[in-house]
Amino acid sequence: MRRFFPLLALALLIVPAQAQRKTEDGQAEFSKACKFTLAPADGYQREVWVALAATDVAPKALLDSMGRCFAPTSSLAVLHEGFGSPTSARPGAGLPADAEEELLARKALVAGYEAALEKLGVTRATRRYTRVSVLAFYEAGVRAWNMALRDEVDADQFVLVDPPVHDLAAANSGVKPRGIDIFLHPRSTAEGQDEEARLLDLLGPWAVNARIMHSFRREGGLEAKVAEIWGALRGYSVAAPDGTRVNLEALINKLEGYDVVFLGELHGNPGAHLLQHDVVKALHGRWKHWALATEQFERDAQKAVDAYFQGARRGRVETAEEKADAEREFMKGARPWPNHADYRPMVEFCRERGIDLIAGNIPRRLAARVNKEGPEVLAQFSAEDKSYSATKIVAHEGAYRDNFFKVMGSSTSAKRDEAYERLDRMYAAQCIKDDTMAESVLAWLEKNKGARVVHINGAFHSAQGLGIPEKLKLINPKLKIAVVTCVESAVPSVESVDAEDARGNDFIVFVPASRPTRKLKGGDTGDTMPGAHR
C-alpha cells in the first residue's frame, strides 16, 4: 500500500548506552551500542514505526519490507540490536553477568528509540499528532515487552510477532495502559487456544483491550508477514457490491466521474482514515476544482477555518512560528474533535494546496436542543443560530429511521411510550445534522459551478445512500453521488460482502476491527486505551 521510495535520507547512527561493571581493581567499564536505520515519511508524517529486528530478521530486509507495505505517511526506524558481545573500556576485562548484560542491551535500545524519534522530528509539540508504535519480531519481543512493562518508552502501541511466550514476565496492576497486539504463527486450534489463554494471564490489565491474532498465512517470507501485520492493524480492502476486490486506482477511476463522494468512516479507525487520505490525494490529481467537507467541523467554525487557510495563501512561505501560531488559533476557534490527529493530514493537505474546507455540520449545542426539545424548537432559534442550521428538519419515516431505531436497540413498531418519544427526538437531532451537512454541500456547489466535493462523515450518516446523500438528492436530484462505506473486519483482505453491506453502497471498504473489551478476573474492565484502534 505504501509507495516505496529510495532511502535517500537513510541514517545509520551509533547510539551508545553505557552501564558500569567494575572488576576488583575498580577500573573496568562496559557498554553496548544500538544502531538504527531510518526511512522518513513521504511528506506528511502521521505515525512512526520503530522496529526491533531479531536474529533471523536482517534489518535491511525488514526496513525494505516495511517500506513496501506501510503507508507513505509512516516514518520507519529499525533498531539493530547486534548485542552479541559488549564492548569494554579496558582490554582484557571480564564480561558482565547475564542480567546486567540484558539491562545494558535494553538501555541501548531505549537510547536508540529516543534518538530515532529525535532524528525524525518527533518533539513534544508534534507528539500529539504523531502515533508511535513499536514492532518486535520473535525474541526481540521480550525486550519490547519489558520496555512496555517498565514504561521505558512512550510508544502508543506495541506489536509483538511470535514472541517466546514462556519468556514474558506477567504485567502487574500498575502498568501504564498500552495498545498491545500479538501475532501468533498458524497452529492447531487447541494449541492456539492454550497459548492465547496463557497470554491473557500474562497481559494482566492489558488484557482488557489487547488483540491476539492468529496468522492465516502458512507460506511466504518476511514481506508477506509484514503485509499481513499492516493489513490487520492499519490497512483497508475495497470491494464492489458484488464482492469483486478493487484497487485504489480502479476506485479513483470510478469516483472521478461523480459530483459528490461520501466517505463513510468509523471514527478513529486507522484503516478508514488512511482510505480517506489516499482518496483525497488521488482525486486532487484528477479534479480541477473541489472542496473537502467534514462532519468534524461545524458551521460556526467556518470563519476560523477560512482564517487558517488564508494564512497559506498570502503569496509567501510561512515561517514555522507563523504556522504554529496560526494552527493554535485554528484549534481554539474551529473546535476540532479530540482525534483531530486523524483528520489533520487531510486538513493540511487541503490548506497547502488552496482547497476549500467546508465546515458544514450543525453546532452541537443546537443539535442538543433538538434532541432535548424536539424538532419544534427549530422555530425558536435566533437568526444567527438559524444560519448555522438547516432550513428545516426532514425526519421522515423509512429505512433510515428503521435503521436508527435498530441501532439504538429499539424498533419503529415499539410501543409509543416515553422511551419511544425520546428516541424520536434523537432521530430528529440526527436528521438535522444530515440536513445541515447536505445544505452546506449544496450551497458551496451552487457558488462553485462545475466543482466537486468529497464529504467525510460517520458511516451511518451515508451508508446505503441514506442520511446525507438521501437529503442531498431530495434537494438536487441531478447530482451524481457516490457512497463509500467502511465496515469493520477481523481480516479485511479476505472479508466477503454480505447483502446488507452491498445495499445502496457503491463501494464497501473493509477496515481493521476495533480493540476488544474484555472483563478481567473479578469483573473489572480496567483502564481502556485512550484510542480504540491504537
Sheet of strand 245-246, all strands in order from the earlier edge strand to the far edge: 245-246, 237-239, 507-512, 481-489, 260-265, 452-458, 290-298, 356-361
CA distances from 143 to 70, 108, 342 (A): 23, 11, 30
Q: What is the CB neighbour count within 10 angstroms for residue 157?
A: 21
pLDDT per position as a tens digit, 87-140 = 544 444 555 567 777 788 888 899 999 999 999 999 998 999 999 999 999 999
Helices (H) and strands (E) in the chain, counts: 17, 17
What pLDDT score does 1 carry? 45
The CA distances from residue 83 to 88, 105, 116, 146, 457, in Å, are 13, 7, 18, 17, 49
**This model's pTM is above 0.85:** yes
CA distances from 311 to 80, 270, 373 (A): 43, 29, 40
- pLDDT > 90? residue 13: no
Question: Pairing relation of β-strands 245-246 and 356-361?
Answer: unpaired
Give the confidence band of 26 by pLDDT, cuts at 50, 70, 90. low
Confidence (pLDDT) at 265? 97
Q: How confident is the model over 168-180, as a mean pLDDT? A: 92
Q: Could you tell me how far CA 531 lies from the centroid of its own chain?
A: 9
Mean pLDDT of 320-344: 94
Helical packing angle, 340-353 and 302-310, nearest 10°: 50
Higher pLDDT, 311 or 404: 404
- Structure confidence at residue 217 (pLDDT): 62
Q: What is the pLDDT of residue 312?
A: 78
Please, which residues have CB within 8 angstroms of residue 504's CB and are 6 or more apart in sequence? 463, 464, 465, 466, 483
- Say what the pLDDT of residue 6 is: 38
pLDDT in tens, 386-434: 999 999 999 989 999 999 999 988 876 766 788 889 999 999 999 999 9
Q: Residue 119 in contact with residue 76, Cβ under 8 Å?
A: no
> How would you classify the pairing of strands 356-361 and 30-39?
unpaired
Domains and CATH numbers, the chain: 12-233 (3.40.50.1820), 237-512 (3.40.50.11550)
Query: pLDDT at position 334, please?
Result: 97
pLDDT average, residue stretch 290-310: 97
Q: pLDDT tens, 29-86?
A: 566 778 899 999 998 999 999 999 888 899 999 999 999 999 999 999 999 865 445 5
User: What percent of the chain has pLDDT above 70?
Assistant: 86
**Alpha helices per DSSP H over 256-363:** 270-284, 302-310, 320-334, 340-353
pLDDT at 518 over 80: yes
Mean pLDDT of the chain, nearest integer? 88
Residue 97: the pLDDT is: 64
Ranked by mean pLDDT, which of 194-198, 309-313, 381-385 comes out on top? 381-385
| Closest residue by Cα to residue 277 from 332, 341, 223 | 341
